[in-house]
Structure 1
């Protein structure tokens, strides 16, 4: 992972990044963009050069805009003018991502930080750098050797005193590492990513953090304990289902949060088979499970004083003679039954088991589930915004605030009371996937039936669309985004601060 260090007086700077910002209310003829005063003593000739450059290159100063200037036979030999916009954490995150992309051919970049920079800005900058530098490689794929050109391996943050920023940098690192782990899990092809493989990766990652425990239920135990939804969805595959339970139990915890993530390691749609185009990226259908286990590992790395249990119900939804059928009745953990109207609405079946188990056996204070659940999420909110549901205004607002601070997007949608009747089945307690439309809303209403006494302390996030990026954008890289890890760590951090 890219090295980021706090320094006071860097030596031998080859590439220097200077923050610039737009001037609010500037009149014609006045500077529209100006350099930000930094704690690093910038030579007078560079200040003069920057003042002359800014009007010529029409730099807007907006967050994430970078102009790179070559300075032959001078020191530093490359100069990057980095827009920081409003200067808030989100703007610095965008700046960090842009600096990485503009400086990939450098071996080292020094960023001159403002003299009065806030720790949140350092956190945002570092997250942007670390997340934008992510590249997925197959487990057995060696690191690229390149063509002999430098590869950015180090960024130095020049500050007047490192001490106020060390904690922010550590939080950024733990957050980025957890997000990158979720991206790795999600990007891995399903030829490798069986439920067993996923469980093994989680156990291996958790072993690096004291205080984490991991338990894995295999098919025989799932059957003995009545996890009918997980077993039904996994019944068509030769690679059996699993339920991973990873726990972080600090001694000083005042709150217990259970996180549940959909873990379909590949989704053909089952007997209700998907068309080819819709199936190509179904290795990402366990993005929710990746997010909740990675966030729990991140919380342990940060030693957050919140008890966390993450549940990852894992299954491969395949087509075979043993696959479950539309019209089957499934008995879930706890006894509720579902009539399966569509085998391609499988994620809610595994989530239902895990949520019912959480309520019955784990006694949490809060229940949050994340799932790449419906295509209706993208229809309603587009590719970059998740749908959030909760019966608690207070809880919904707190989690939405965490998404904004983390740089992820979500929008609250209603749990419409007049749609509940659509869940009624003549054969079972519930239809798993009613056909009256409003697919994301109906999926949320279905899951709510398994929240029991936690109904008013539950949040459901349908994050199918933003779990995948079609190309590099800001701190996102093409492929899995790790959506939800940053949001969960923000929210869990806020809980720990609230005591």
Structure 2
């Protein structure tokens, strides 16, 4: 049982890097820090150890910032957002709550909290809350409404293409997924005109695209047994993308990259009008797709959003994030999210952002070998293969066929989006990684 007293935590400069000395009788603790070795992810690890010793902490904030290594902003950000994610339950940063089981961490001596840190934590919380909402409350129409209202409040450009709009434009894949209720949407968020004008130099257009399947039954290839449990989290990608965009709009968009957010939103349901297995559809790109599995629907809506971002919106880099495949869990477990990139430079920049964020990524192969099982006799591609082997890389390679020659990053968070078991909690994985990939890592 952890001690419920409030322990005072201070940082001291020393060579025994990240060693924690606890005085239980005095309820105090010191962390030894070598500034030359300290990175945010290591600081996170040390705080995780502290939380294992006691539930409540009063952190001597100035003692950390005086030693150096990280800025005040960085300490605050990693204390507030990463600790909460590690605990996988709420953490109080103010007065002790009535619920004594909730850890309380006070940042003593933090005179001026960082607005940017607050925006990031707020964004992570928003993404988690959206993902956790029951599907009867937050269906695709309600989710689109909430995103649109937030965009309006922040004076951001928000275009919503409805199922009918998508049908007219030739988005056969997206419309097929939401065919039962005619509830497929494509939401496009862009910076306000004022923001764009203030950025004097020409910036690289980056499209951040998040899968937004608000509930996934599998369609006619229905999920059996307990596999439908937790499918409310299948819109985690869109929840992350919208929340990252809103956080950046408050903190200030990147000077180097113009961000466009795309949310392909739908629900994959079972009904008399469900798309049938063996159907052949023509995608917005012009490529035809044979539907061999209606439960491989996420790649369909993402593929058309990618084409739209590249062709119609002029994006030169495409990033997709999605709870895309069950196979990624078998490949990586529940700690590392999978990453695929077309360029070495992208992976270098992305992995640096992940290290700075204290989040875990593992690079996976993006290889045409994985297309062999997706070749069709009656269409350009199948949406799923007969074998599940290499399923995550096969899905990523399928999506790469719709990148229109643009630089591409794909992130599969099906294994990291939420906790499993009786208490399913959203985790907002890679929020900070993508935030800092777009905004830029703070450097000395």
TM bin, normalised by shorter chain, reads: 0.7 to 0.9
2:258 corresponds to which of 303, 307, 315: 307
Give the Cα separation in 2 of the matches to 1:155 and 1:213.
37
Give the Cα separation in 1 of the matches to 2:228 and 2:102.
38
How far does the alpha carbon of each residue in 1:361-382 deviate from its partner, in whole angstroms, 9 at most, with x for none?
0001211111111111111111
Q: Per the alignment, in what secondary structure is the counterpart of residue 117 of structure 2?
A: helix
Note the 1:137-216 alignment, pairs <5 A. Answer: 146=98, 152=104, 154-157=106-109, 169-210=114-155, 212-216=156-160
CA 1:130–1:396 in structure 2 vs 1: closer, same or farther (change >3 Å)? Answer: closer
In the alignment, which residue of structure 1 is the partner of 2:206?
A: 257
How far does the alpha carbon of each residue in 1:153-177 deviate from its partner, in whole angstroms, 9 at most, with x for none?
852246xxx79xx7xx333222222
Q: Per the alignment, in what secondary structure is the counterpart of residue 453 of structure 1?
A: coil
Which structure has the greater CA radius of gyration? 1
1:488 corresponds to which of 434, 438, 443: 434
Contact persistence 2:40–2:357 (CA under 8 A): no
Give the Cα separation in 1 of the matches to 2:204 and 2:442.
8
| Structure 2: tracts of 5 or more residues without a match | 1-5, 91-95
How far does the alpha carbon of each residue in 1:123-176 deviate from its partner, in whole angstroms, 9 at most, with x for none?
144333244347889xxxxxx973689984852246xxx79xx7xx33322222
The root-mean-square deviation of aligned C-alpha atoms, in Å, is: 3.2
In the alignment, which residue of structure 2 is the partner of 1:232?
A: 176
Give the Cα separation in 2 of the matches to 1:277 and 1:482.
23
In the alignment, which residue of structure 2 is the partner of 1:377?
A: 328
1:18 corresponds to which of 10, 27, 38: 10
Give the Cα separation in 2 of the matches to 1:487 and 1:147.
32
How far does the alpha carbon of each residue in 1:34-87 deviate from its partner, in whole angstroms, 9 at most, with x for none?
xxxxxxxxxxxxxxxxxxxxxxxxxxx45xx6847465xxxxxx5344576853
Give the Cα separation in 2 of the matches to 1:222 and 1:378.
33
Give the Cα separation in 2 of the matches to 1:270 and 1:170.
43
Once the 2 structures are TM-superposed, how far is the Cα of residue 385 of structure 1 from its aligned partner? 1.1
Note the 1:87-486 alignment, pairs <5 A. Answer: 87-96=38-47, 110-111=60-61, 112-120=63-71, 122-133=73-84, 146=98, 152=104, 154-157=106-109, 169-210=114-155, 212-236=156-180, 238=181, 240-248=183-191, 250=195, 251=197, 252=199, 254-304=203-253, 305=255, 306-436=257-387, 437-454=389-406, 457-470=407-420, 479-486=425-432
Contact persistence 2:44–2:82 (CA under 8 A): no
Contact persistence 2:65–2:72 (CA under 8 A): no
Count of aligned pairs between the two proteins: 418
Q: Per the alignment, in what secondary structure is the counterpart of residue 358 of structure 1?
A: helix
How far does the alpha carbon of each residue in 1:12-35 deviate from its partner, in whole angstroms, 9 at most, with x for none?
xx86321368754xxxxxxxx8xx
Give the Cα separation in 2 of the matches to 1:245 and 1:271.
29
In the alignment, which residue of structure 2 is the partner of 1:44?
A: none
CA 1:294–1:19 in structure 2 vs 1: closer, same or farther (change >3 Å)? Answer: same
How far does the alpha carbon of each residue in 1:266-289 deviate from its partner, in whole angstroms, 9 at most, with x for none?
111111111232111111111111
CA 1:446–1:359 in structure 2 vs 1: closer, same or farther (change >3 Å)? Answer: same
Give the Cα separation in 2 of the matches to 1:361 and 1:496.
32
Give the Cα separation in 1 of the matches to 2:313 and 2:364.
28
Instruction: Provide TM-score, normalisation by structure 1.
Output: 0.75
CA 1:356–1:110 in structure 2 vs 1: closer, same or farther (change >3 Å)? Answer: same
Once the 2 structures are TM-superposed, how far is the Cα of residue 121 of structure 1 from its aligned partner? 6.4
Give the Cα separation in 2 of the matches to 1:242 and 1:280.
24
